[in-house]
Amino acid sequence: MAAANCLVANDWICWEYVRSRSQELTDATLQHIGITLLAVSIGVVVSVPLALLARRGRRYAAPVLGVSTVLYTIPSLAMFSLLLPVFGLSAATALVVTGLVLYSLTVLVRNALAGLEAVPEEVREAARGMGYGPGRLFWQVELPLALPALLAGVRIATVSTVALTTVGSIVGKGGLGNLLAPAVDSSFKAQVLTASVLCVLLALVADLLLLGLQRVLTPWTRVAKGA
């Protein structure tokens, strides 16, 4: 009875809320993770070709970096509203994912470009001298050496996307935002705090996992730092 009283008292910390709404919390968390993973994955796939294009010279770099930067300045609610006529409410997931991908490009394209530009030219020349064509040079030489910068961008983009995903609640695809928004409107304190804490935990766990992945995929960076 004492546990249930926290719901009646509308306390911030209420384990009865967590127990009674465990399935709802789980579903919202899984949706949040799924949308974040999809958006960041597509963002990486799109950003690498854009970085390769931008590397070809100022003629290409200026519009690529300029457009991605401008997209990031658009408020999230305005971004989703602008995409609504394109996707419609029936394709809510695609709408939210597209908006999140566009936001992630600012960080991902710049980091991918920085990583590619950091590859020493003598390394490229040595690979060409060994008979590497453009495709093999990219996959076996440039991309591995650009991974530290690219993965650093993925970490930033992922944490940012975890936060921005909540805005998708305006079309019912916001993961934990679907719980957070109505709870704020109704002053349901336990739901506000629980959903917020879960968002923070998702961001922290994602960042730690990506940091571990970065250390596994780029062991030479630890040697360079004397780790």
Task: List, for residues 49-63, the tens digit of each pLDDT value.
Answer: 999 998 888 888 888
Q: What does the pLDDT look like over 123-156, one tens digit per residue?
A: 888 988 888 888 888 888 888 888 999 999 999 9
Residue 72 is predicted with a pLDDT of 85
- As a whole number of Å, the CA-based R_g of the chain is 21
Would the pLDDT of 47 be above 80?
yes
Close Cβ partners of 37 (under 8 Å, ≥ 6 residues apart): none
Report pLDDT for 4: 62
Query: Residue 121: which pLDDT band, with cuts at 50, 70 and 90?
Result: confident
Pairwise CA distance, residues 11 & 95, whole Å: 35
Question: How many whole angstroms separate alpha carbon 174 and alpha carbon 195?
Answer: 11
Q: What is the DSSP string of 15-67?
A: HHHHHHTHHHHHHHHHHHHHHHHHHHHHHHHHHHHHHHHHTT-HHHHHHHHHH
CATH of domain 29-217: 1.10.3720.10
214 has a pLDDT exceeding 80: yes
Q: Residue ranges of the domains in the chain? A: 29-217
Q: What mean pLDDT is predicted for residues 188-203?
A: 90
CB-CB contact of 80 with 95 (8 Å): yes
